[in-house]
Amino acid sequence: MTTIEELVEANAISRIEIEMHPRDQVLRLLYGTPDFIAWLDELAKGSQPGRRLGEATPAEQVDDLFNTFLSGMPLVHMRQFRTIRAEKNAVWELKTPDVRIFGWFLKKDCFVGVFGNWTDQVKDHDLYRGYRIAIRRLRRELGVDDTLCVQGVTPGDVLSL
Amino acid sequence: MCFHFDIGSRARHAGRFIGRVRGELLRALSERKAETGLSQQALARKLGADRAQINRQLSGEASLSLRSLADLAWAMDMEISFELKKPVASAGQNQPMTTSTVRHGQIKYINGSTRKISVVATPANSELGQAKKSA
């Protein structure tokens, strides 16, 4: 049976951390594939969409979302996270005004990001289906569909609320 | 192997403050909806504004001025509590890092010279709201 530690050792995924307030503790876990982390790295360096919607920069939006997630604060269903399609072993989307992050929950409160993109790109080119298929394929290749993937599709299945 | 997503102290404070204000507005609206059935549509009607614009402001897709923030709080019959205070170390909290362990350069932690902003919407007629008003 594949474990999260084995995926990390094989460099299939890496742990993502942020600077947290001293009074906060990490209550959830966040991982990313190498490609997603490369995308995050570009975002941290100031990458911007052609047309920005949010008052905060995309990097600030993602930092705030990760901070909310990691410190165990509630996320607003549909506004900040949702399934792409209600199905067993669903693919999930984390959302900010300008950014969309696609991945899945390895366990409850433990998300792995696979793709990140600008909101307008995802919507204009209808990339949901492509991301969903690519993530399902990746999970099959890693052999984690039955072991490291939350089956349920309700918010309470993936997050301690 | 670990990746540290570091956008710098200034950006971090700005982004998390903006997120906290919007989160508080959404929480207050959800609370009012449960108590009185107040919908985004009713909120927009009360303010003489477009529902889509209210939705964009709440979702973070449109800028929120202090005037808009005050108007939204008024329409929800909530009071805004706002203060700036020095960060205070409390028992049991983590020690902030003073040396960098990441590849994005030294962590910019400014101890004691930052001002913390707190925005909390409370019902205007609640006991908590009254206590804050009289304090």
Ordered by start, the domain boundaries in chain B are 9-127
E runs forming strands in chain B: 2-5, 78-85, 116-123
Residue A118, strand partner residues: A99
pLDDT at B90: 75
pLDDT at B129: 43
What count of CB pairs under 8 Å joins A to B?
101
The answer to whether the CB of A102 falls within 8 A of the CB of A85 is no
pLDDT at B91: 74
Instruction: Find chain B residues with C-beta within 8 A of A44's C-beta.
Output: 5-7, 104
- How many helices (DSSP H) and strands (DSSP E) are in chain A? 6, 6
The answer to whether the CB of A136 falls within 8 A of the CB of A100 is no
pLDDT at A52: 87
Blockwise average pLDDT, block size 10, chain A, 161 residues? 92 96 92 97 93 92 97 92 93 96 97 97 96 96 92 94 74
CA distance A67 to B12: 10
Interface of B with A (CB under 8 A): 1-7, 9, 11-12, 14-16, 18-19, 23, 26, 56, 59-64, 89-90, 93-97, 104, 107
pLDDT at A98: 95
The answer to whether the CB of B19 falls within 8 A of the CB of A66 is no
Q: What is the pLDDT of residues B48-67, one digit of tens each?
A: 999 999 999 998 889 999 99
CB contact under 8 A, B2 and A16: yes
- For residue B86, the distance in angstroms to the closest alpha carbon of chain A comes to 14
CB contact under 8 A, B5 and A96: no
pLDDT at B97: 54
pLDDT at A34: 97
Blockwise average pLDDT, block size 10, chain B, 135 residues? 93 95 92 94 95 92 93 96 86 62 48 49 55 40
CB contact under 8 A, A53 and B61: yes
State whether residue B101 is helix, strand or coil: coil
All structural domains of chain A = 4-16+25-153 (3.30.2310.20)
CB contact under 8 A, A55 and B2: no
pLDDT at B119: 60
pLDDT at B95: 65
